[in-house]
Structure 1
Amino acid sequence: MDFKPYGVIPPLVTPLTKEGKLDEKALRLMINHLIANGLHGVFPAGTTGEFYGLTDEEYRELLMITVDEVKGRVPVYAGVNHITTRGAVRLAEIADECKVDALSILTPMFISPTQDDLIRHYETIAKCTELPIIMYNNKPKTGVDIFPPTAAKLADVKNIIGVKDSTGDMTNTEEYLRLTKGKDFHVMMGRDTLIYAALCYGASGAIASCSNVAPRLAADIYDKYMAGDREGALEAQFKLAPLRIAFNLGTFPAVIKEGLAMQGIDVGCSYEPVGPLKEHERENLRKILKEMELI
């Protein structure tokens, strides 16, 4: 396919009102803020976007607003995440109707599918849409792993064009790249501390949660690397790392939303049961953001 994922893409937080409804105004402001700071796409309804809290109607609304506000300036990647294949197909059809540019499809969760099950899962979804598909391996969250040979086999499906690797295992990333070399297939890093390393191996970019809070810094890792400024790219990577490591201060994605609030960008709280940071956690995060010159 002609579509190629590249650069640093933010998995958008889902802004919520005090009543727990989608905050359209905050979403539009957030999209423009991220694009203005040089990010290379937007990705609603991912893990950072708390996809698990959205009804189908809210999912459609989120995608429609995002596509409308982006206005073709950057690609829109829609998260398609469900335990069942038929559920994922339904969400893919909604995303297709919303005219997004590509799909990011997480493995099933809770259940323990075999690699053959995963192959059938992704092949079935791919037959139901002409949109480019990026598989999403987040084994630390789902307990399900897309093995590199499985990814290599699925790379032969016309519209399966890549994989996001959030395992944090660089050997796994390397094997995705090695086994798909020569194919029209792209690897996107999903662990924010490893963007530079993935680019060195030949990855096309990253889908990075931290880019919600540090968009320009995250984009610099890719932009400087591509411009031949390896030293500058590595410096940006080192500067970004403390924010990603700070995710353990609370339940994900509380740190991202709290960080945005500290920058004066109100995106509300997370879906319960995820609660706000405790005061000492908030102070630790504030210290990190000050040291990173983000507030």
Structure 2
Amino acid sequence: MPINDDDSIDFARLADEIEHLIAAGVDGIYSNGTAGEFHNQTEEEFDAIQQLLADRCRPAAMPFIIGACQADPRISLERVRRAARLEPEAIQVILPDWWPVTAEEATDFLGMAAEAAGSIPLVLYHPPHAKRVFAPVELAAILAPVPQVVGVKLADGDLSWYKQARQHLGAWGIYVPGHHLATGVKLDVAVGAFSNVACLSPFGAQRWTASMGRDIERALEVEQRLCAFLEDHITPLAKVHGYSNAALDKLLAAIGGWADVGTRLRRPYRWLDPQIVPGLRETARTALPEIML
């Protein structure tokens, strides 16, 4: 979500960003994830963003998913209802987050969201910073009573986690972190990613994804270098300096330079100084030529 110096949304730059994503031939576009700052916009702004997305994607036959995420369940359900009118491929929601829900409450909320969505399928966004993170076996029990939920975006784990995911979550499309996608494909768990790698380059991320069907071992080698770049140069900005995931994702987009997104977040959240971008861009180009082409 490109932000102007006065904290307003730059809808012209947002439209241009969507056009670049369409031109990259990505599998689909989704709105209002972490880097979309869904937690820091008005309902009028939410509606304008989704309308813009729909208006740009439909003529291009580009599939799109609307994130109706909101920590407040009542606001989230209203967002779901309004998003459904735009007929996206799916609607993404998070579990209510001001007070952590029990498993029973999570199922109840998803049932309410399914009713609000009508015929539109749901994807659950279950990030690692949720106040309660459910294990695969718990998630399966939560999702089973709500057949309208067709997928889950979540953090993965070690080999034990992948074994549990295969055992319990096979009925749903599992979307792992973008920089772990090759591992998820190799272990026959992931169907895709709502990809942070596309922040660096939607063109490169799409090519890398396609390569997994031809040479998974080569894709895994790229993944190793990708994870090393993130661990060495991006993750410390959060662990040491306290920047948010939204700040890191916007930094990646600035490093990629494929659209004029900018690093600025809406206040009060801090963003990265754009002066660090050129050096990181050169580092990324050296480490990840397959992504940064």
Distance in 2 (alpha carbons) for counterparts of 1:106 and 1:219: 26
Distance in 1 (alpha carbons) for counterparts of 2:66 and 2:157: 22
Contact 2:30 / 2:67 at 8 angstroms: preserved in 1?
yes
Superposed CA deviations along residues 162-203 of structure 1, whole A, max 9, x for unmatched, are 11112545544542332133x3x21111x2331111112222
Question: In the alignment, is residue 66 of structure 1 matched against residue 53 of structure 2?
Answer: yes
Distance in 2 (alpha carbons) for counterparts of 1:104 and 1:249: 28
Matches within 5 A, 1:175-186: 175-181=164-170, 183=171, 185-186=172-173
Tell me the residue number matched to 1:270.
265
Please give the secondary structure, in 2, of the residue aligned with 1:161.
strand
Closer, same or farther: CA 279–61 of 1 in aligned 2, 3 Å:
closer
Question: In the alignment, is residue 163 of structure 1 matched against residue 158 of structure 2?
Answer: no
Closer, same or farther: CA 83–257 of 1 in aligned 2, 3 Å:
closer
Letter paired with 2:266: Y
Letter paired with 1:238: Q
Contact 1:105 / 1:133 at 8 angstroms: preserved in 2?
yes
Contact 1:155 / 1:162 at 8 angstroms: preserved in 2?
no
Structure 1 unmatched ranges of 5 or more: 1-13
Letter paired with 1:266: D
Tell me the residue number matched to 1:104.
92
Distance in 2 (alpha carbons) for counterparts of 1:243 and 1:66: 31
| Large movers: runs of 4+ above 6 Å | none
RMSD: 2.5
Closer, same or farther: CA 57–73 of 1 in aligned 2, 3 Å:
same
Contact 2:20 / 2:259 at 8 angstroms: preserved in 1?
no
Superposed CA deviations along residues 230-279 of structure 1, whole A, max 9, x for unmatched, are 13322332343245431442523233333434526322411112333247
- Give, in angstroms, the shift of residue 70 of structure 1: 1.2
- Give, in angstroms, the shift of residue 28 of structure 1: 1.9
Give TM-score, length-normalised by structure 1. 0.83
Tell me the residue number matched to 1:136.
125
Question: In the alignment, is residue 210 of structure 1 matched against residue 197 of structure 2?
Answer: yes
Identity in percent: 22
Structure 2 unmatched ranges of 5 or more: none
- Give, in angstroms, the shift of residue 46 of structure 1: 0.8
Superposed CA deviations along residues 187-220 of structure 1, whole A, max 9, x for unmatched, are 111x233111111222211111231222233223
Q: How many pairs were matched up? A: 277
Please give the secondary structure, in 2, of the residue aligned with 1:109.
coil
Q: Select which of 100, 118, 140 maps to 1:152.
A: 140
Please give the secondary structure, in 2, of the residue aligned with 1:241.
helix
Closer, same or farther: CA 64–123 of 1 in aligned 2, 3 Å:
same
Distance in 2 (alpha carbons) for counterparts of 1:112 and 1:264: 38
Give TM-score, length-normalised by structure 2. 0.84
Letter paired with 2:47: R
Distance in 1 (alpha carbons) for counterparts of 2:75 and 2:246: 24
Which shifted more, 237-246 or 197-206?
237-246
Matches within 5 A, 1:239-250: 239-245=225-231, 246-249=234-237
Question: In the alignment, is residue 200 of structure 1 matched against residue 189 of structure 2?
Answer: no
Which shifted more, 41-50 or 76-85?
76-85
Distance in 1 (alpha carbons) for counterparts of 2:75 and 2:163: 31
Question: In the alignment, is residue 256 of structure 1 matched against residue 243 of structure 2?
Answer: no
